[in-house]
Amino acid sequence: MNGKDLRAVLSNNIKLYRCNHGWSQADLAEKAEISITFLSSIERCVKWPYPDTLVKIAKALKIEEFELFRLNKAVTDDTSTLIERLVGDIALSVKDSIEKTYRRYRGHLKLKK
């Protein structure tokens, strides 16, 4: 594995663990006491964090530092849970949209008896 691959693993794992917590980049950046811009750069594989920053990120995510570098481990273990949450969120969003649209147009509809 080269440096580019390692950076991609780190980036993917940070994003995955962050999303599993339901956190935005701003949430994680605040908890890890780093800037949102820097976290975004790490997640986009643009910047490489110092070891002390990795410790802060891992601590904020409530994981051990080595888990940030587990090759595909986080992806294979947590992807189905993440997909289930995503599908549930999408379903709720669609349901809410349909209900709002129905309420908005309900008064304009005349039902035949």
User: For the chain, what percent of residues have pLDDT higher than 70?
Assistant: 81
Q: Binning pLDDT at 50, 70 and 90, where does residue 113 land?
A: low
- 0.85 cut: is pTM over it? no
- Write down the domain spans for the chain: 3-106
pLDDT digits (tens, 9 = 90+) for 8-48: 899 999 999 999 899 999 999 999 999 999 999 999 999 99
Q: Binning pLDDT at 50, 70 and 90, where does residue 112 land?
A: low
Q: Is it true that domain 3-106 has CATH number 1.10.260.40?
A: yes
Residue by residue, what is the 3-state secondary structure of the chain? CCHHHHHHHHHHHHHHHHHHCCCCHHHHHHHHCCCHHHHHHHHCCCCCCCHHHHHHHHHHHCCCHHHHHCCCHHHHHHHHHHHHHHHHHHHHHHHHHHHHHHHHHHCCCCCCC
